[in-house]
Amino acid sequence: MKVLVAVKRVVDYNVKVRAKADGSDVDLNNVKMAINPFCEIAVEEAVRLREAGTATEVIAVSIGSKSCQEQIRTALALGADRGIHVETEGDVEPLVVAKLLKGVIEKEQPQLVILGKQSIDGDNNQTGQMLGALTNMAQGTFASEVAIDGDKVNVTREVDGGLQTVSLNLPAIVTTDLRLNEPRYASLPNIMKAKKKQMDVYSPADLGVEPKAHLTTLKVEPPAERKAGIIVESVDELIDKLKNEAKVIS
Amino acid sequence: MSTLVIAEHDNASLKPATLCAVAAAQAIGADIDILVAGEGCGGAGEAAAAVAGVRKVLVADNAAYAHQLAENVGLLIAELGANYDNILAGDTSNGKNIMPRVAALLDVGQISDIISVESADTFKRPIYAGNVIATVQSADARKVITVRCTAFDAVAAEGGSAAIEAVDAVHDAGISSFVGEELAVSDRPELTAADIVISGGRGMQNGENFAMLESLADKLGAAVGASRAAVDAGFVPNDMQVGQTGKIVAPDLYIAVGISGAIQHLAGMKDSKVIVAINKDEDAPIFQVADYGLVADLFTAVPELVSKL
């Protein structure tokens, strides 16, 4: 079984991102970039499936400018077998990403596609579901457990109020939640080996897709600041403030 | 202009997320219809018809929609949605699961988690874990939108008398099926619907100590949540997590106990009306967003609170 994993290059999760003063965009000058944490979990899950003998090959795909080849190399160092880079100018929207991934799926015919549930930059949480609709595949989103069962996959999902398990026909789409697994660290020998692994580069045209903008960002700004509060000296004072000043308890 | 709001419900009744999505639909300003898709969902359909300001309720009652499988419900919404200018749902796990599928079927972008309506095609939404607010304009003729429920005040659940119309369309994609679910059972209010939320962090030290927060919650009629650190440490289950990747809450009162205040956590609770922080580390970032901070050992402060309330 072939597994396709999508990875995205994003600002490292430890970086506190700010809007530029002129409100035109976020300030990404000289910030550390990394593989999106949910995508890293997706790579780990795919590699574990191969180590368990369920998957035969793990292909890591990333879409974006040339620099996202770094994140493909990271995925290869974590254990993916080969990479595919779909080179685009700048960022593309989730629907376009989904169309490009559909093109890759048509070439590669994977039985399972694993993506992160969302990227920590746009926080859209759309691509996996859109890909499911475009390919008419079933989807197991926000997965906390993935179990292949013959020609089906059982996915346990994190939903409001608890967990839900669904059974999906293969080929299928899975999007990862935080607790699906704990990704490994890449070892130095594996980082070296990753440099020699195959990476194919496609253009959107190679996949029959013309990127289109559906949304325009007009402005970015910092969120409304909360006004500074006060430090109370005792539990009694806290209760008094909550009852008589804030009036949130009676 | 017309808007279709996708109901969040348990077949018998509507969930609050529906009322917030209707509020966002009102801000857009078009005629509002509600779709209730489920199995044996007549009760939820009647509840939807009573919501203030609704023109019509569409009820699609079929086994194919029983567990809100995105593969089936997505096809239904895409078919019905082709008659509307806007399709809205709350930012629930169902909304997040189904709506992008609808958008792709209609070949339009999705606008996720809107927190305000600026005009019929322009919206604000948080990006980068809420550290930045983006104003975005949609170029699509038909808009598929999920609504950040904490940002909109629910419309009245009563007062309307919309007509109910049965939808016969049955979409069963036949590629997925429901196996089972494990839902947390609690007498306390739901985290996202509670007026008061009390959350514990790594400072709680273990799961047993959450009993303290539960007794405080019972005194106040509150829900109990947790930070990601407490969940990752195994103190409490995942569905209690408040934060960017967990539940987004905005209660009247949020009490953070033993929580340092990582960006991730703040993104999930900073829209609460009043925030109280109890932490023994006076430099904890949580104090920067708290209206009332108490620098104290939680193991003495919380029992004192319980006894004095």
pLDDT along chain B (309 residues), means of 10: 96 95 96 98 97 97 97 98 97 97 98 97 94 96 95 93 96 97 84 92 96 94 95 90 86 96 89 94 94 96 94
pLDDT of residue B222: 95
Does residue A62 have a pLDDT over 80? Answer: yes
Please say if the pLDDT value at position A228 is more than 90.
no
Contact A236 B308 (CB under 8 A): yes
Q: Which residues, 6 or more positions from A75, have their beta carbon under 8 angstroms from its beta carbon?
A: A5, A7, A35, A39, A43, A60, A62, A83
Counted across chains A and B, CB pairs separated by less than 8 A come out at 245
A225: three-class secondary structure by DSSP? coil
Per-residue pLDDT, A152: 98
Distance CA B299, CA B309 (A): 16
- Fill in the amino acid letter for A110: P
Work out the burial of residue A244: count CB atoms within 10 Å of its CB; fewer than 13 is exposed, 13-18 middle, 19 or more buried: exposed
CA distance B123 to chain A (A): 10
pLDDT tens-digit readout, A30-52: 999 999 999 999 999 999 999 99
Q: Which residue in A16, A134, A167 is closest to B177 by CB distance?
A: A167
Q: Which residue of A has its CA nearest to B92?
A: A160
CA distances for A23 relative to A29, A219, A222, B105, B135, angstroms: 15, 5, 9, 33, 10
Query: B294–A231: do the CB atoms touch at under 8 Å?
Result: yes
Q: Are B144 and B99 in contact (CB under 8 A)?
A: yes
The nearest CA of chain B is from the CA of A193 a distance in Å of 32
Determine the Cα–Cα distance for residues A57 and A78; give it in Å rounded to an integer. 13
Crossing angle for the helix pair A127-135 and B70-81, to the nearest 10 degrees: 80
CB-count burial class (<10 Å; 0-12, 13-18, 19+) for B1: exposed
How far apart are alpha carbons A178 and B232 in whole angstroms? 10
Tokens read off for A173: 């789409």
H helical segments located in A68-125: 69-77, 94-108
User: Are the Cβ atoms of B97 and A139 closer than 8 angstroms?
Assistant: yes
Residue B244, pLDDT score = 79
Using a CB-CB cut-off of 8 Å, the residues of chain B touching A15 are none
Predicted local distance difference test score (pLDDT) of residue A15: 87
- The distance of A75 to chain B (nearest Cα, Å) reads 23
Q: Which residues of A141-163 are buried (b: 16+ CB within 10 A; e: fewer)?
A: bbbbbbebeeebbbbbbbbbbeb
Sheet holding B116-119, edge to edge: A215-221, B132-138, B122-127, B116-119
Closest CB from A19, A136, A158 relative to B132: A19
DSSP tally for chain A: helices H, then strands E: 6, 13
User: Any idea what DSSP says for residue A244?
Assistant: I
**What residues of chain A lie within 8 A of the CB of B69, using their CB?**
166
- Cβ neighbours of residue B245 closer than 8 Å, sequence gap 6 or more: A177, A178, B228, B264
**In this structure, what token pair is assigned to residue B212?**
């303290």
Say which amino acid occupies B41: C
Residue A167 and residue B176: Cβ atoms within 8 Å? yes
Q: How distant is the Cα of A128 from the closest Cα of chain B, in angstroms? A: 8
| Residue B135 to residue A249, Cβ atoms within 8 A | no
Predicted confidence at residue A117, as pLDDT, reads 97
Cβ atoms of B217 and B223 within 8 Å: the answer is: yes
How far from chain centre, in Å, is Cα B239?
A: 13
Instruction: Mark yes or no for CB contact B292/A230 under 8 Å.
Output: yes
Distances (CA, A) of B116 to A165, B2, B194: 34, 18, 22
Chain B residues touching A177 at Cβ < 8 A: 245
Give the integer Cα–Cα distance in Å for B269 and B250. 6
Structure tokens at B143: 């808009």
- Residue of A22, A26, A125 to mutate, testing the B interface (most B Cβ within 10 Å of its Cβ): A125
Distance (Å, whole) CA B147 – CA B22: 9
Contact A220 B132 (CB under 8 A): yes
Confidence of residue A85 (pLDDT cuts 50, 70, 90): very high
**Residue with token string 């829900």:** B223
Secondary structure (3-state) at A121: coil
Q: In chain B, what residues touch A133 (CB-CB under 8 Å)? A: 74, 100-102, 104-105
pTM: 0.92
- The 10s digit of each residue's pLDDT in A177-214 is 988 999 999 999 999 999 999 999 999 999 999 999 99
Q: Mind telling me how many Å the CA of B73 is from chain A's nearest CA?
A: 11
Are B276 and A242 a contacting pair at CB < 8 A? yes
Residue of B10, B111, B125, B127 for testing the chain A interface, max A β-carbons within 10 Å? B127
- The band of A160, judged by pLDDT with boundaries at 50, 70 and 90, is confident
Chain B residues lying within 8 Å of A141, measured CB to CB: 70, 96-97
- The pLDDT score that the predictor gives to residue A193 is 96
Q: What average pLDDT does range A135-163 have in this prediction?
A: 95
> Distance (Å) from the C-alpha of residue A227 to the closest C-alpha of chain B?
8
Backbone angles phi, psi at B248, to 5 degrees: -100, 120
- Residue A119 contacts residue A10 (beta carbons within 8 Å): yes
Which residues in chain A are closer than 8 Å to B115, comparing Cβ atoms? none
Q: Which residue of A has its CA nearest to B103?
A: A130
Q: How far apart are CA A79 and CA A72, in angstroms?
A: 11
Return d(Cα A138, Cα B178) in angstroms, integer: 12
